[in-house]
Amino acid sequence: MRDMNAEKRKPLEAWQIEDAARLKDLFLRRWGKSQELFGETFGLGRQATVGNLLNGRRALNLDQATRFARGLGCAISDFSPTLGRKIMDIAQNDNGQSNVMPGPEIRGRVPLISWVQAGVWMEIVDNFVPGDAEEWIATTYHSKAGTFALRVQGDSMEPRFPEGCIIIVEPEEDALHGKFVVAKRPGENSATFKQLVVDGGQCYLKPLNPRYSLLEFTPGTQIVGVVKRMEMEV
């Protein structure tokens, strides 16, 4: 069956194809994970959408470019000088009313809690009241009743998750191989943030910073939730 939408799609111009090539190069060098995870984390949709944008099968729009820049930690102009100039032109022609593009839609606010609270989250969530949170974090993630936020401490998950960034954690998400998780290990007061690795039937908690050692998923270790978003403060 023919793809009718593809027939209606306008062919990409040369500059758009060049933008896609630059973006793909940045993606491969800076992300290093799946297209599916990137699309899920930064609101770009399914893996097919991310793949089409990276491979020059679909043209980038400003919203998508903004999401890629955020996820890869770069400026839009690093991969698309044309869209970068377009954003500057919009800001300059806005008569001083605004110098930014509209961001992604805020879909909810979740409590920012401590790492100690995270370790016992399932025990306290039902009795958690707004005043118990350090603050409430706006997020583009469609949060649920038990969704919460944590501020990353230390450098064990750098460079992907720098110290001070905020992660949005979903307790109802299934923890699968390769997912970033918040876990509580027996004998420790606070939770920890690592990547879940399953190898030969054995589970491990892996820090992204190679200076830190792999942690065994010892008996009694509990997955508190799966990380769904990263929010940055500047």
Domain ranges of the chain: 4-92, 108-231
pLDDT of residue 22: 95
Query: Does the pLDDT at position 49 exceed 80?
Result: yes
Q: Give the CATH superfamily of 4-92.
A: lambda repressor-like DNA-binding domains (1.10.260.40)
36-40, 156-160, 194-198, 217-221: least confidently modelled range: 36-40
The burial class, CB within 10 Å (0-12 / 13-18 / 19+), for 31 is: middle
pLDDT of residue 78: 87
Q: Which of 128, 194, 112 is nearest to 161 (CA)?
A: 194
112-146 pLDDT, tens digit per residue, is 999 999 998 888 877 776 677 888 888 878 888 88
pLDDT of residue 7: 40
Q: Which of 12, 11, 9, 32 is nearest to 21 (CA)?
A: 12
Strands (E), the chain: 108-112, 135-139, 148-151, 166-170, 180-184, 192-199, 202-206, 215-216, 222-231
Across 172-193, average pLDDT: 94
More reliable by pLDDT, 194 or 29: 194
Query: Does the pLDDT at position 76 exceed 80?
Result: yes
Please check whether residue 190 is in contact with residue 45, taking contact to mean a CB–CB distance below 8 angstroms: no
More reliable by pLDDT, 39 or 41: 39
66-80, 108-122, 153-167, 199-213: least confidently modelled range: 66-80
The burial class, CB within 10 Å (0-12 / 13-18 / 19+), for 200 is: exposed
CA 77 to chain centre: 21
49-58, 98-107, 126-135: least confidently modelled range: 98-107
Range 15-19, long-range pairs (CB < 8 A, 24+ positions): 15/82, 16/56, 16/59, 16/60, 17/56, 19/60, 19/79, 19/80, 19/82, 19/83
Q: What is the DSSP letter of 185?
A: -
83-97, 127-141, 212-226: least confidently modelled range: 83-97
Query: Does the pLDDT at position 6 exceed 60?
Result: no
The hierarchical CATH code for the domain 108-231 is: 2.10.109.10
Which residues have a Cβ under 8 Å from the Cβ of 225 and sit 6 or more positions away? 121, 146, 148, 169, 170, 171, 172, 173, 181, 182
More reliable by pLDDT, 2 or 30: 30
Of the ranges 14-23, 39-48, 105-114, the best mean pLDDT one = 14-23
pLDDT of residue 141: 84
More reliable by pLDDT, 59 or 140: 59
